[in-house]
Amino acid sequence: MSNIYNFSNNSSFISQVNLFEVVLLSLLFLSIGSFVSTLILRLEPSISLKISNILFRRSNCKNCKKNISLINLIPIVGYLKQFGKCQKCKKNISIFYPLTEAIFYLVGIMIFNEYGISIFSIYLFLIFTVFYILFFLDLTYLYLPLPLNLSILVLGFTGNIFFNFATDSTILFFDITPLMFSLIGFICGYSFLWIVNSIYRFFNNIDGIGGGDFILLGGIGSIIGPLSLGPVLFMAASLGIIYYIFKRTLNQKELPLGSFIILGGILYFFIKRFELFQNFIVL
Ligand SMILES: [Zn+2]
């Protein structure tokens, strides 16, 4: 049974596509990166979640509010052409824009190179996109918007039910369907953090974990299944502790747990796909 861990791409990506398609895909990845960087800056919790506000507003300079000309909105090219400064007020433009565009380009090419033109590539790229947005929103504002969180669930359930996206030996071992794999994954992820939070609230009278984190871990569970959640949480907690030690001086009380859960999920995928540490783990 082919899944994202054992999928082998027999013919190389280059032999599957022609130059025109490579250019087209590159432009697509760059544009999505450009859209994502804008989206992250527009999804601040203070701004109302109106579709018109998010999707159809003309991009303007954060400093002088002047509209950005169309040519300067071209991914990376626009940034380089303006030498990283707003043409009107000369204020530096955030490096976050071109960096995100470059990351989306590289990740897109890497995914399609690894999985070819396949449904797995599309799913992985979509999941990466949602993860990227949630990662930075949680890191910056401790904010995990519900629609994005729910889209992870949709990707998890549809991916596993229709394409065995990340269904592993858990399915054979427990003799369950892909639907149950996703469902049990969701329930385990959601209820684990819910229980931890309930215990915390019992002793401290306040919530220790945000509700968005429950859904996020549940969503990741719906993609990679219940048994993966232990390692994901372990890695998330380890990264969170390291971050906390470094950030302690800034007197930041709250930890962006969601961001670390996402990093844990991505690390888990890499470890399983490329069989890292296989010599160290006796399973
Ligand atoms: Zn400006």
CA–centroid distance, residue 104 to ligand 1 (Å): 25
Torsion angles phi and psi, residue 60, rounded to 5: -130, 170
Question: Which tokens hold the place of 32?
Answer: 């999505």
Domain ranges in the chain? Answer: 18-116, 142-278
Instruction: Tell me, in angstroms, the distance from the centre of ligand 1 to residue 96's CA.
Output: 16
Q: How far is the CA of 68 from the centre of ligand 1 (A)?
A: 9
- Measured between alpha carbons, how far is residue 9 from residues 97, 116, 145 in Å? 32, 6, 35
What are all long-range contacts of 17-24, with beta carbons under 8 Å and residues at least 24 apart?
17/117
Entry pTM: 0.91
277 Rama class: left (phi>0) / alpha (psi -120 to 50) / beta: left
Between the CA of 81 and the centroid of ligand 1 the distance, in Å, is 15
Distance, CA 89 to ligand 1 centroid (Å)?
4
CA 134 to ligand 1 center in whole angstroms = 27
Torsion region of 34: left, alpha or beta (phi above 0 gives left; psi -120 to 50 gives alpha): alpha
Q: What is the 90 CA–ligand 1 centroid distance (Å)? A: 6
> How much distance in Å is there from the Cα of 191 to the middle of ligand 1?
47
- Distance, in Å, from the CA atom of 265 to the CA atom of 261, rounded to the nearest integer, reads 6
**Which residues are within 8 A (CB) of 75 and not within 5 positions of it... i.e. 6 or more apart?**
30, 31, 33, 34, 98, 101
Ligand 1 centroid–CA 43 distance in Å is 20
Give distance in angstroms: CA of 204 to centre of ligand 1: 46
Residue ranges with CB less than 5 Å from ion ligand 1: 61, 63-64, 86, 88-89
Å from CA of 70 to ligand 1 middle: 15
Residue pLDDT tens, the chain, 283 long: 789 998 887 766 667 778 888 899 999 999 999 999 988 988 877 666 666 666 677 788 878 888 888 888 888 888 988 889 988 888 988 899 999 999 999 999 999 989 988 999 999 999 999 999 999 999 988 899 999 999 999 999 999 999 999 998 889 999 999 999 999 999 999 999 999 999 999 999 988 888 899 999 999 999 999 999 999 999 999 999 898 888 776 666 778 999 999 999 999 999 999 887 766 654 4
Instruction: For residues 137 and 118, give the distance between their C-alpha atoms in angstroms, rounded to a whole number.
Output: 29
CA of 135 to the centre of ligand 1 (A): 27
